[in-house]
Amino acid sequence: MIQFDHLHKSYGEGPDAHEVLHDINLDIRDGEVFGILGSSGAGKSTLVRCINLLERPTKGRVLIDGNDVTNATGAELARLRSSIGMIFQDFNLFQQRTVLRNITFPLELHHVPAAQRKARAERLLDLVGLSDYADRYPSQLSGGQQQRVAIARALANNPSIMLCDEATSALDSTTTVQILDLLRRINRDMNVTMVVITHSLAVARNICDRIAMIDGGRIVEEGETETLFDNPKSDILKALIASANAQNHRGGDGHDAANAADGSAATDGSKEVR
């Protein structure tokens, strides 16, 4: 369980300080896919980066499995980070390393012997469907393939939590659905709790069990995905749903995976998001 307890986050110091997260209280349960949905600048990345302490909360606490990790340093921080994998919109692979050596990198940091590193990386490559790509470099892969490598690397240390920050935003709608399927499979088969940041209703609806909608640094609503979509309460979610539906009726542009939200083809404008 990941818990945010009256969490606040400000950037800047003294008179320049401005608070971007205001009194966040949230429980993310073990084994679920939890969505953080919101517009650009809402505070999604900041919130999720407080889980692995890439950002330090200014006030309040983060608890993982009941342990207050807010002020973790040294070995405790290293242990926390190795139990949490993270993937990003722009993949963040090491360009000078092969696919295999991208995946072994976190294991090198933990001084895992070379033969074990290689064996683990090969198993993970197989899991993400890239067994034949071990010796390639990131620049020789498509975006979807690069994200698969990033997913394999994020899994290297056998994390119990995975943070996905707009992991499919740079991908087309077909590739998005494939990556979401992979993440769902990892969630189910490896019992990894997933925290999925997205601004896309379609992505949220496709993969998330529950969602928190964040606006201006506040959680404006949260709940089971279907309940939220069927009966949105906040103005922002109502507006997003209306706008996605209008776009679908116009036929959409096929780029935002909105049309694929319910499995319909990217060019099928007949299905609504809700």
Ligand X SMILES: Nc1ncnc2c1ncn2[C@@H]1O[C@H](COP(=O)(O)OP(=O)(O)OP(=O)(O)O)[C@@H](O)[C@H]1O
Residues contributing to the site for Mg ion (CB under 5 A): 45
Please select the residue that binds ligand X; options are 2, 42, 99, 125, rule is CB under 6 A. Answer: 42
Query: What's the CA gap between 49 and 116, in Å, rounded?
Result: 30
User: Which is nearer to ligand X, 43 or 106 (by Cβ)?
Assistant: 43
Our finding on whether 11 is near ligand X (CB under 6 A) is yes
- At closest approach, how far in Å is the CB of 59 from ligand X? 16
- At closest approach, how far in Å is the CB of 165 from ligand X? 7
Please select the residue that binds ligand X; options are 2, 28, 43, 183, rule is CB under 6 A. Answer: 43
CA dihedral over 141, 144, 149, 153, signed as positive or negative: positive
Our finding on whether 40 is near ligand X (CB under 6 A) is yes
- At closest approach, how far in Å is the CB of 115 from ligand X? 40
Q: Which does 11 bind (CB under 5 to 8 A by kind): ligand X, Mg ion, none?
A: ligand X
Q: Which does 199 bind (CB under 5 to 8 A by kind): Mg ion, ligand X, none?
A: ligand X
| Contacts with ligand X, 187-216, as mask; x by CB under 6 A | ------------x-----------------
Q: Which does 42 bind (CB under 5 to 8 A by kind): ligand X, Mg ion, none?
A: ligand X
In order of 46, 84, 223, the CA distances from 79 in angstroms are 21, 9, 31
Q: Which does 43 bind (CB under 5 to 8 A by kind): ligand X, Mg ion, none?
A: ligand X
Residue recorded with tokens 């189910």: 188
Q: Which does 218 bind (CB under 5 to 8 A by kind): Mg ion, ligand X, none?
A: none
DSSP track, the chain: -EEEEEEEEEES-GGG-EEEEEEEEEEE-TT-EEEEE--TTSSHHHHHHTTTTSS--SEEEEEETTEE-TT--HHHHHHHHHTEEEEETT----TTS-HHHHHHHHHHHTT--HHHHHHHHHHHHHHTT-GGGTT--GGGS-HHHHHHHHHHHHHTT--SEEEEESTTTTS-HHHHHHHHHHHHHHHHHS--EEEEEES-HHHHHHH-SEEEEEETTEEEEEEEHHHHHHS--SHHHHHHHHHHHHHHHHT--S-SGGGGTTS--TT-TTS---
Our finding on whether 232 is near ligand X (CB under 6 A) is no
- At closest approach, how far in Å is the CB of 164 from ligand X? 12
Our finding on whether 46 is near ligand X (CB under 6 A) is yes
- Span of 43-51, 112-120, 142-150, 251-259 interacting with ligand X by CB under 6 A: 43-51
- Span of 39-47, 128-136, 146-154, 202-210 interacting with ligand X by CB under 6 A: 39-47
Our finding on whether 96 is near ligand X (CB under 6 A) is no
| Interface with ligand X (CB under 6 A) | 11, 20, 38, 40-46, 199
